[in-house]
Structure 1
Amino acid sequence: MYGRRSIQNILKSAVERVGIKKGVTDHTLRHSFATPLLEQGTDLRYIQSLLGHESPKTTQIYTHITTGGFDQIKSPLDKLEI
């Protein structure tokens, strides 16, 4: 396992090497990893485990960030042949 400071140094070096001017933090990296998973329908409990969150409330923050995927949600009522 890497420590937080090691991750910050590795990320800073990578950002400088590729020429990104916008501020990038380890938190930005976590968001850019977790948000697409959520948008693709990954269960929040899996994301919680991947991010190492002890509380699901911490992971639920990501549900407020994204609205992607809402158009793919199907109601069980849509399957009824009425």
Structure 2
Amino acid sequence: MDEKRHLAQLTKDGFNLGMPILMDGLDDRVDDLYGGMPVSLYVIDKDGIVQFQGLVGPIGFSVEAWEKAIQRLVPASDQ
């Protein structure tokens, strides 16, 4: 878990994310619940509703589409 936590922090820092991110446990419960696959990006609103589900990468991986989904949900003053 320490290594996963470290990698999650590197990702958050690398993308300069000011919002909370979810780190799945070793049991992959969140992955099982949301049907995530490797290199998928999601935006889940404060009510737990999936507002954006990216395509499975690497071909469908799009940080730009993910950022646009975040921008639609989060006013510029909150980012």
Scaled to the shorter chain, the TM-score interval is 0.3 to 0.5
TM-score normalised by the chain length of structure 1: 0.32
TM-score (structure 2 length as normaliser): 0.33
Higher strand share: 2
The structure having more radius of gyration, on CA atoms, is 1
Bigger proportion of residues as helix:
1
